[in-house]
Amino acid sequence: MMAYVLLGTNDLPRAISFYEALFEGLDAKRVWESERGIAWSNNPSAPGLGVILPFDEKPATIGNGSMVALHMPSREWVDKLYAKALALGGTDEGAPGERGPGFYAGYFRDLDGNKLNAVCFG
């Protein structure tokens, strides 16, 4: 059902640098680029994630209650991506851990305050 997710940014070069570094080792490739934004996916026919300058030219703001979950192949990958996000300047929203049976996740915010999590099931 999902085609892609775009997160607003007020500093496109900074956002691109954050996500390029965050996605290293995940096989994520650029699947779309324009002067207003960029998106990545690890499969061109699968959903992607992008950052974009708002089209209405007003400041980007974070969505209250909005979150993007990034599927990881293992708990180790959850831990690794969460730690990498914090090392790149992201902020903690909940350290990796078991959140329920078969649900392991770590929560963080990107440089613009958008909330994401790295999650693995099983």
Hey, what domains does the chain have and what are their CATH numbers? 4-53+66-121 (3.10.180.10)
pLDDT of 14 above 80 = yes
What confidence category does residue 122 fall into, taking pLDDT thresholds of 50, 70 and 90?
Answer: confident
Q: Look-up: residue for tokens 């440089």? A: 111
pLDDT in tens, 58-105: 999 998 889 999 999 999 999 999 999 999 999 999 999 999 999 999
Q: Are strands 103-109 and 115-121 parallel, antiparallel or unpaired?
A: antiparallel
SS3 of residue 12 by DSSP: helix
So what's the pLDDT on residue 65? Answer: 86
- In 1-122, the DSSP E strands lie at 4-8, 29-33, 37-41, 48-52, 68-71, 91-100, 103-109, 115-121
So what's the pLDDT on residue 69? Answer: 96
So what's the pLDDT on residue 45? Answer: 86
pLDDT in tens, 101-118: 999 999 999 999 999 999
| Among 120, 93, 97, 94, CA closest to 109 | 93
Q: Look-up: residue for tokens 């030219």? A: 57
Give this prediction's pTM: 0.91
Rounded Cα gap, residues 53 and 71, in angstroms: 25
Contacts 24+ apart (CB under 8 A), 21-26: 21/84, 21/88, 22/81, 22/84, 22/85, 22/88, 22/90, 26/81
